[in-house]
A and B are shown apart, each in its own frame.
Chain A
Amino acid sequence: MGVFDIYLLETLINGVLLGGVLALLSLGLNLVFGVIDVVWICYAELIMLGMYAMYFLASVYRVPLPVAVPACIAAVAVLGLLLHVVVIAPLLGAAPINQLLATGGVLFFLQSAATIMFGIEFKNLGLRLPVLKAAGMFISYSRLLAFAAALVGMIAVYLFLNRTYTGTAIRAIAQDRQMMTLMGVDSRRIYVITSALGGGLAGLASCLLVLQYDVHPFVGLSFGPITFLICVLGGLGNFGGGFVAAFVFAEIISLGGLYLDLEWGYVFAFAFFIAMMFVRPQGLLARRS
């Protein structure tokens, strides 16, 4: 390898693999914000519940993975739908701060409910996927699998948004809310579909994360803030920006972890975020307005 440091390459590849999962995480949150103009503060807690669903289905009830994964995605999609119908829809006309507080309340509600129901011990699937050795590098299969599945999920969403009437309406509503009525679109229906889609993405994310991480009632804290920061860095509601920002963040975390400790990777990532907020407060791929 000579000049090219093998550890650096391994780190860069791991950064890309992490970036794919972070991009998937941020897409769900971004989609909901872009369309409904509401930030789901409790988004990562939906993922936490999805991880528990996977744990119970796969580890406790021994449901085969090809059944457990779609069931988990569907279950979290229903949660997203319920979150919209029960909490968000009645507050749509209210001040944005009320919506933030309400979804923030749901965050604590879900954390506490999970603590009561599932206890605080860490749980995992007990799966040990092999590690791939190639050209002197070690890449774990679970990361490769998570990256591939995240990519497939994002491509599916892209095709849905670009090839169907409902998907076109979802993109359009983010650009001009009022005109939807004139197009014959029932905005309330689009909101419900988008919420289910956002929940479904959280469900897919939880299936991928449970391969790599233990689940416990506060696991959302590990993904929630970073997902939110990625969305802000990319420009809230800007899907392309969120995608790019996810990979930028992932590489910073990965490289910081290579040269110092993993925790330093996060320190650099958040420092970078704060610096960028001064330089480009509208986000990386901000549109001129």
Chain B
Amino acid sequence: MLELTAVRAGYGTFQALFDVSLDVRAGEAVGVIGPNGAGKTTLMRVISGLIRPTAGALTMEGVDLLATPPHRIVELGIAHVPESRRLFPRMTVEDNLRMGGFMLAARPKFRQRLDVVYELFPRLRERRRQLAGSMSGGEQQMCAIGRALMSEPKLLLLDEPSAGLAPIVVDQLFELLRRIRAGGVTVLIVEQNVQQVLRVVERAYVLKAGSIRAAGSAAELSDSATIREAYLGV
């Protein structure tokens, strides 16, 4: 479904990704784990078009992402839940969800998608007239995921969804991710919460200092010494 080949990217003279190659197959859940500053967020931003890579190739179902204008990447079925949620804080929950369904193809299905999202997150239905910025961190994360689901994506990119949430909310979040996956959405998730994420994904990549250091099934990585080394950053 998604394929990255030898992708390089950075900010100005700072290079954050060095020849990163990875693939995500339809129906899978794939994790990218690694310490702070490993380039995980940069990787997500490159896929959704927020940053253009300096070298390498990216395709989504065979379509060249580099030949697609950044604002049209969502039309290919890629929805990105960014780091620290980035809701529109002074707009209502429902207006935030409306923005998630902005693309022309999603507009006729607005009510239908709204029902899907509200069924998944009943709390959002209760708060639909509330300003997004006035909600708790967990509720905001639900709203951010709901916003991404409004475009009926094939691939959901999740960047540190558990960051800043209370442990009990994190458990709920990962339970919800299982339900989203059961709905047929492919997931690529970046996390620092390694133990939790390895229970949700089938495979994972270990990213450190901008390059892939290891890859394997969730079970393999759970037992591996490499990942402990990479994650603890020693």
Contacts and interface: CB of A to CB of B under 8 A. Distances in A.
A is bound by B: yes
Interface of A: 165, 168-169, 171-172, 175-176, 178-187, 287
B22 interface: no
Closest 8 CB pairs of A and B: A184-B103, A184-B74, A175-B88, A172-B88, A183-B99, A181-B70, A183-B102, A186-B71
B98 A182 contact: no
Contacts, number: 59
Nearest to B110: A165
Given A179-B86, A182-B80, 7 more contacts: A165-B107, A172-B99, A175-B88, A175-B89, A175-B90, A184-B71, A184-B102
A176 B49 CA distance: 16
A183 B88 CA distance: 11
- Residue of A172, A176, A184 with highest tally of chain B CB at under 10 A: A184
B116 interface: no
A136 to B, nearest CB: 45
B95 A182 contact: no
B99 to A, nearest CB: 5
A185 B49 CA distance: 12
B86 A165 contact: no
A126 B212 CA distance: 77
A179 B91 contact: no
Contacts of A169: 99, 102
A274 B79 CA distance: 47
B78 to A, nearest CB: 9
Contacts of B72: 184
A184 B74 CA distance: 6
A206 to B, nearest CB: 31
Contacts of B71: 180-181, 184-187
A165 B99 CA distance: 7
B95 A168 contact: yes
Contacts of B48: 181-182
A61 B118 CA distance: 58
